[in-house]
Amino acid sequence: MSQIPQTLTHWLIDAQRKAGGDSVMLQLLDDIATACKMISHEIAQGAMLGNLGKAGSENVQGEEQKQLDVIANDIFLAVNAQAGHYPAMASEELEDVYVVDGAAEGKYLLLFDPLDGSSNIDVNVSVGSIFSILRLPEGADPSQAAAFLQTGVQQVAAGYALYGPSTMLVISVGQGVHGFTLDRNTGLFYLTHPDMSIPADTKEFAINASRARFWEAPVKRYVDECLAGKTGPRGRDFNMRWIASMVAEVHRILTRGGLFMYPMDAENQAKGGKLRLMYEANPMSFLVEQAGGAASTGRQRIMDVAPTGLHQRISVILGSKNEVERVASYHAE
């Protein structure tokens, strides 16, 4: 009899048993998995359900929403509110905290980006969902943004769903990083990528080269050295990638190593950067560090940054440890 891979539910039971942790975490992550299955279905059906194209609205960031941005956000809110463990949630698509009716006794907070890389939807390129789970601080009011403004090191779990050729859920509860693939026949996530690890060295980096004219000198130096290849100071050739979906970029790094950069530059400096600390940078940094990588703004560890707002933006440089440290050293110089 062939061995059946471990399901997400059974893996979570084992993880809880080993850690002696809160059994509620199983329910939290199971609900997130359910939401991601539903979003995966909506994306896969796409044009057939009339889900593609613009929604005719903007989110709190002033960005034009796709129909699937709105659908994914509604699914995340509805599914994760049902068990009553979150008295409140925060979404990249919403300006304020979303208070969950009847969940006043909940002890956790959920932050999420319901659909990362949505500019790729209409051209059928990989997109994803990102989430971060925090404990509700003792005595804090969950209806206020202040309850959510915790550093990345305070996360108790984080992860993402990747909607690509297959749908994957990649998570960490502080015990490494593990990837689960959705079997559409059974509707179950199975453990297919245990103990994902990022090699310390790499010959691959990802950055939006169209912004080169705005880059700070340390970033430009790093990229120029990589592009110089074997004849340059690095003495080897590098490959450059760009998918315009952070989930897809980070998944590639967790699978085979690499460096992802969306740094603060002259054009976005007034905002602090491009990516959102609470919905993108912190959860991805948690995963990357759990897999042996590093995550920095170029000037400090991302997960040590004290947040000042729900939609705070930040510089992001993460991936293979030695390359992250090299870019940080250029900033220090």
Q: Are residues 67 and 123 in the same domain?
A: yes
Rounded to an integer, the average pLDDT of 199-217 is: 97
The pLDDT confidence band at residue 178, using thresholds 50, 70 and 90, is very high
Of 11-15, 116-120, 250-254, 312-316, the poorest mean pLDDT is in 116-120
Q: How far apart, in whole angstroms, are the C-alpha atoms of residue 267 and residue 128?
A: 26
pLDDT of residue 149: 98
% the chain with pLDDT above 90: 84
pLDDT of residue 52: 66
pLDDT of residue 64: 64
pLDDT of residue 244: 92
Q: Are residues 208 and 181 in the same domain?
A: no
Q: Are residues 189 and 221 in the same domain?
A: no
135, 161, 193: which is the final residue of a domain? 193
For residue 188, is pLDDT > 60? Answer: yes
pLDDT of residue 53: 63
Rounded to an integer, the average pLDDT of 187-216 is: 97
pLDDT of residue 15: 86
Give tens-digit pLDDT for 90-141.
Answer: 999 999 999 999 998 999 999 999 999 888 878 888 999 999 999 999 999 9
pLDDT of residue 83: 93
Q: Is 249 annotated as a binding residue?
A: no
Rounded to an integer, the average pLDDT of 231-244 is: 96
The answer to whether residue 297 sits within a structural domain is: yes
The answer to whether residue 1 sits within a structural domain is: no
Strands 88-91, 98-99: pairing is antiparallel
Residues 6+ apart with CB under 8 A from 165: none
Of 54-58, 103-107, 161-165, 293-297, the poorest mean pLDDT is in 54-58
Q: How far apart, in whole angstroms, are the C-alpha atoms of residue 40 and residue 288?
A: 24
Rounded to an integer, the average pLDDT of 32-49 is: 88
Q: Is 216 annotated as a binding residue?
A: no
For residue 276, is pLDDT > 60? Answer: yes
Q: Are residues 62 and 161 in the same domain?
A: yes
Q: Are residues 150 and 270 in the same domain?
A: no
Q: Is 201 annotated as a binding residue?
A: no
pLDDT of residue 315: 98
193, 223, 247: which is the final residue of a domain? 193
Q: Is 74 helix (H, G, I), strand (E, B) or coil?
A: helix
The answer to whether residue 275 sits within a structural domain is: yes
Q: Are residues 179 and 223 in the same domain?
A: no
Of 52-66, 144-158, 286-300, the poorest mean pLDDT is in 52-66
Q: Is 280 annotated as a binding residue?
A: yes
> Is the distance from CB of 151 to CB of 305 less than 8 angstroms?
yes
The answer to whether residue 225 sits within a structural domain is: yes
The answer to whether residue 199 sits within a structural domain is: no
Q: How many domains does the chain have?
A: 2
Q: Is 287 annotated as a binding residue?
A: no
> Is the distance from CB of 248 to CB of 162 less than 8 angstroms?
yes
**DSSP H or E run through 226:** helix 217-227
Q: Are residues 55 and 178 in the same domain?
A: yes
The answer to whether residue 3 sits within a structural domain is: no
Q: How far apart, in whole angstroms, are the C-alpha atoms of residue 90 and residue 159?
A: 16
Give tens-digit pLDDT for 129-148.
Answer: 999 999 999 999 999 999 99
Q: Are residues 270 and 181 in the same domain?
A: no
Q: Are residues 155 and 267 in the same domain?
A: no
% the chain with pLDDT above 70: 93
Nearest to 38 by CA among 84, 104, 82: 82
Q: Is 40 annotated as a binding residue?
A: no
Q: Are residues 90 and 223 in the same domain?
A: no
Q: How far apart, in whole angstroms, are the C-alpha atoms of residue 32 and residue 129?
A: 10
Q: Which domain holds residue 304?
A: 204-332
Q: Is 92 annotated as a binding residue?
A: yes
Residue 289 belongs to domain with CATH number: 3.40.190.80
Which own/partner pairs from 46-51 qualify as long-range (CB within 8 Å, at least 24 positions apart)? 46/121, 46/124
> Is the distance from CB of 206 to CB of 241 less than 8 angstroms?
yes
Residue 153 belongs to domain with CATH number: 3.30.540.10
Q: Is 245 annotated as a binding residue?
A: no
The answer to whether residue 286 sits within a structural domain is: yes
146, 164, 193: which is the final residue of a domain? 193
The DSSP line for 318-333 is EESHHHHHHHHHHHH-
Rounded to an integer, the average pLDDT of 194-199 is: 98
The answer to whether residue 291 sits within a structural domain is: yes
Q: Are residues 134 and 232 in the same domain?
A: no
Q: Are residues 262 and 283 in the same domain?
A: yes
Q: What letter represents residue 224's amino acid?
A: D
